[in-house]
Each structure stands twice: as structure tokens, then as C-alpha cells.
Amino acid sequence: MVDALRQREIQPHDERQDGDPAAQSSGTARTRAGRVLLTDKALKALRPAPAKKRLIVWDAVQPHFGVRITDKGHKSFVVVKRVRGTRTPSFHMLGHYPHLKLAEAREKARAVLGELAEGIDRKALERKNLEEERRAQKNRFAAVAQLFIDKHASKIRSGKETARIIHLYLIPTFGHLQIEEIRRRQIAELLDDIESRSFVDAKGRKIGGPVMADRVLAALRKMFNWHAARDDGFLNPIVKGMARTKPRERARTRVLDDRELLALWRALARLENTNYGPLCERKVFAGIVRLLLLTAQRRSEVGRLRSQEIDEEGLWSIAAKRYKTHTDHIVPLSQWSRRILERQAPFGSGGFVFTTTGDTPFSGYSKAKGRLDELMSEELAKIVGSDDGCRHAKIRPWRLHDLRRTAKTLMVRAGVRPDISERVLGHVIRGVEGVYDRHDYVAEKRSALEALSSFVQKIVGVSA
């Protein structure tokens, strides 16, 4: 009898005639309205369905419950019942035979049918829960943060630093939360920890500071604003007044004086001739520092200088994509700067002038700068003398970027017009002059950098 039911396919019957479902799901064949008392013996006797067909054998004990057979002979317990008010039958896969026992399958079927009788469609509920889970995963802070990095931060000049801040501070703190769950209080607590340098990173180090707290806040604000433009239900919890410092208060004014510049130049010469680190590393770092002062450009621009950016006339062309103001910038190198670059013979496929690998730009700034400060202190003690006979004079803290401010100051002292020195630095000229004055000022910038070079030579007591 089982074989007879399985082997024949007929047109679908109406569920209203015998209480059985009219259909299973798309692609499933249907059997005649007769039912079979399903037992383990009957289940084992079922043969595969015809090729590319699936058949259902209905149970004589439990209405709307049966076993589905594929053309490969796989058997699965199913419940198929039309819910009141719907046109399509609700199909529920209970499990595979023989992993799911017949008695357990009938028990499961009764539970599903009970839910359907109460108007609960488990399948629809599962789909709803799955959709909610997908939405929750998508709105999780870590997922939104990565999407922000991929779609926005990676395309801007400061993108690497923004991504570093997000991965170091924000994802470890908020990564597991839904983005709309993050409250202003939680952000303030994170900024407090960073400001007081009590934030602990993945390596167990306490890091941060007031300025870093503001950078974290800026990165978070950008991300929240970006997300708010994509989600009309998101409200940015960041408000005015959450910053820990004021731009005017943290603006740096450090300029190296003449004695410090002399100590710097002597320390660079010593650095190249000591046994500290590989020779190429010492030579490369010393070249970078000298060029930072003599060109008044930023560390990222000097450090990533490629040989192909400089033409035969000594014009260094920096493309807009790697310049802070996003404009093409030309730096006419002085004779002294060109001789410094000639000592840094580029090698390798990268074309970088300042490199220790040939393929990547120099990166060991922190360690090399620490050693340079030690040598500068020793040289400064020799220059200024020491009342107590101490061999060292602690140099005031300074950064490589301070050389750019120092160069600007020296150009003014050398008689360079302020508007010309501003163009040497690559600052955007504001107002009507910046809009209508389209002169390239290459000759004027060359004169300014030659004047700077001559002024530095007088201070440090060397000739180009």
C-alpha cells in the first residue's frame, strides 16, 4: 500500500475535502488523499521518489503530519497546514529520519499544529527573528565602524589615523553594543579614562591623554554623523562641550632657538657617525630632519618623498592626493637641500629617497628621535656650559613638526615676505587674494628657501 501511494502523482486535492494540506512547497509532488499508518517498518520500506520529484506520505495518526521522500531516498518529517487567512500553506521541516525518531516527530508536529491553531506561524516567526538578528548585526557598533572605515575613512588623507583610533579605543569599548544603544554618559566615561591616561589597551598598557581624548571624540563624531546621514532613525548622542581641551590652548608655539639649532646640527652629525643602529637608518633619519628644516614641509611629505617627484631643475612636485591641503604643491629645493638628497641614493622598487628597505618609507621615528634628543642635550651642554660641571643639559621637549614653525620664523628673520613664506609652507591663502592670484610663485619660493638655507648655515656654522 505504501509503495502504491508513493509511486503515483496526481493533481492537488482540496484540503477542505479531507483535512490534509493541499500542497507542500514549491517543487514538491503530491500524493493521493489516502493516509498510511507510519511505523519504523513502513518508513524503512519507502522507496525514493521519481527523478527530480519529492513526495509526501501522510500519517494516518496525526493530521497534517507526514514524511517527505526525495529522489535520493532521503526522508524528512514535515508538517504542512494552511493557516486561516492565508493562501499559501505553512510548511515546517521537523527533522530527518532516522536521526529524528517517529515518536519525537509526532510530538513536534503536535506542538507546531498547536501554535498554528493559535495563529502563531513558527516559520514566519523564524524569518522575523532572522531578519531582526541580521539588522542587529548590521547595526552593531563594530560593524558600523568597519563600514565607516571602508566607505569613508579609507578615502581621506587622515583615514589611517582615524582607523587606528577606532580600532584602539572605540571598538574595544563599544564594539558589542548596538550603535543606537550608546549613551552620552558612556562616551563621557571613555573620554575621562583616556584624558586621565587610565585607558588600558589590548596589551595592558595605560595610554591616552587630553589631546588624544579629543581626537577620539572627533573620530567618533565623524562616524556618528556619517551614520546619521544613512539612518533616519539614529540620533547622534554627542553634543557641544564634550571636548577636553581648547584648540587655542593646545596650539603649539615651540620654536628651536639658535643654540638649539646648532646643537641639533652637531647631534645629527654625531648620529650618523655613532654605532647606534644600522648606518643606513641613522643616515636616513638625519637626512629627513635636515630636510624638514630646510624645506619647511611636513614629516609625512618629506618622509615619503620619491625620487621621481624631483625634476632636473630641483623642483619637488607633491601631488594633491598626498598633500594636507589636497592641492598640488611645488617646493623649489635649495642647493643645500639638493646635496643632502644626493647623499640619500634611492634604491629598490619603491623609489623612496628616505628608506631602509627600498620598498617602504622610513618608519623608525620614535626610537631615532629619542637618541637624537640625548645627543642634542650633550651638545647643548657644551654650547651653553654648565655651572655644576654636569655633562648634560636637558633640552626642552620638542617635536619634528616644530622644525616647520622654526623654518617659518627663520624665513621672517631672513627678510622673506610673510605671504611668500606662507606659500612655501603650502598654506591656503584666504580671501580675494587666494581666489584671484593664480601666479605659481616658484621663483619667489626658490629665493625664500635659498635665504632660509643661508640663514641656517650661519647659525650652525657650516657651508653648503
CA distance 209 to 212: 5
Global confidence as pTM: 0.61
CB 340 within 8 A of CB 291: yes
Question: In this structure, are 273 and 392 located in the same domain?
Answer: yes
Question: Which cell numbers in the block locate residue 405?
Answer: 614653525
The CATH number that applies at residue 398 is: 1.10.443.10
C-alpha neighbours within 13 Å on the C-beta side of residue 302: 28
**pLDDT in the model for residue 464:** 59
Pairing of strands 199-200, 75-81: unpaired
pLDDT-based confidence at 27, cuts 50/70/90?
very low
CB 337 within 8 A of CB 449: yes
Which residues, 6+ apart, have CB-to-CB distance to 186 below 8 Å? 173, 174
Question: In this structure, are 300 and 445 located in the same domain?
Answer: yes
User: Does residue 412 register a pLDDT over 90?
Assistant: yes
Domain stops at, among 134, 153, 182: 134
Q: Report which of residues 386 and 417 the model is more confident about.
A: 417
Question: In this structure, are 209 and 266 located in the same domain?
Answer: no
CB 97 within 8 A of CB 67: yes
User: Does residue 329 register a pLDDT over 50?
Assistant: yes
**DSSP SS3 for 222:** helix
User: Does residue 3 register a pLDDT over 80?
Assistant: no
What's the total number of domains in the chain?
Answer: 3
Q: Report which of residues 249 and 449 the model is more confident about.
A: 449
Q: Report which of residues 374 and 248 the model is more confident about.
A: 374
Question: In this structure, are 83 and 147 located in the same domain?
Answer: no
pLDDT-based confidence at 340, cuts 50/70/90?
very high
Question: In this structure, are 94 and 243 located in the same domain?
Answer: no
User: Does residue 102 register a pLDDT over 60?
Assistant: yes
CB 285 within 8 A of CB 368: yes
Question: In this structure, are 109 and 13 located in the same domain?
Answer: yes
**DSSP SS3 for 400:** coil
Domain stops at, among 114, 134, 154: 134
Q: What is the extent of the structural domain holding 226?
A: 141-250
Calculate the alpha carbon distances from 254 to 28, 104, 251, 425 in Å.
Answer: 80, 79, 9, 17
Which residues, 6+ apart, have CB-to-CB distance to 248 below 8 Å? none
Asked, as a colleague might, if the bond just before 98 is cis with ω within 30 of 0, I would say yes
Question: Which cell numbers in the block locate residue 32?
Answer: 493521493
448-463 pLDDT, tens digit per residue, is 999 999 999 999 988 7
CA distance 50 to 53: 5
Question: Can you tell me which residue has the cell 631643475?
Answer: 313
Which residues, 6+ apart, have CB-to-CB distance to 421 below 8 Å? 296, 408, 411, 412, 448
Q: How far apart are the first and last CA of the chain?
A: 107
CA distance 288 to 344: 10
When the pLDDT of each residue in the chain is averaged and rounded to a whole number, the result is 85
Question: In this structure, are 229 and 289 located in the same domain?
Answer: no
CB 306 within 8 A of CB 341: no
Write out the H or E segment, with its range, that includes residue 332: strand 329-332
**pLDDT in the model for residue 400:** 96
CB 106 within 8 A of CB 65: yes
CA distance 202 to 213: 18
The CATH number that applies at residue 229 is: 1.10.150.130
- Output the DSSP codes for 50-104: STT-EEEEEBSSSTTEEEEEETT--EEEEEEEPPTT-SSPEEEEEEEETTS-HHH
Domain stops at, among 112, 134, 156: 134
Question: In this structure, are 148 and 127 located in the same domain?
Answer: no
Which residues, 6+ apart, have CB-to-CB distance to 178 below 8 Å? 136, 139, 140, 141
List the helix and strand counts (H, then E) for the chain: 20, 8
CA distance 97 to 196: 62
Q: What is the mean pLDDT of residues 200-227?
A: 94
Question: In this structure, are 293 and 413 located in the same domain?
Answer: yes
Question: In this structure, are 268 and 241 located in the same domain?
Answer: no
User: Does residue 231 register a pLDDT over 70?
Assistant: yes
Question: In this structure, are 274 and 397 located in the same domain?
Answer: yes
Which residues, 6+ apart, have CB-to-CB distance to 219 below 8 Å? 162, 165, 166, 170
The CATH number that applies at residue 80 is: 3.30.160.390
- Output the DSSP codes for 164-214: HHIIIIIHHHHTTSBGGG--HHHHHHHHHHHHTT-EE-TTS-EE--HHHHH
Question: In this structure, are 115 and 175 located in the same domain?
Answer: no
441-451 pLDDT, tens digit per residue, is 999 999 999 99
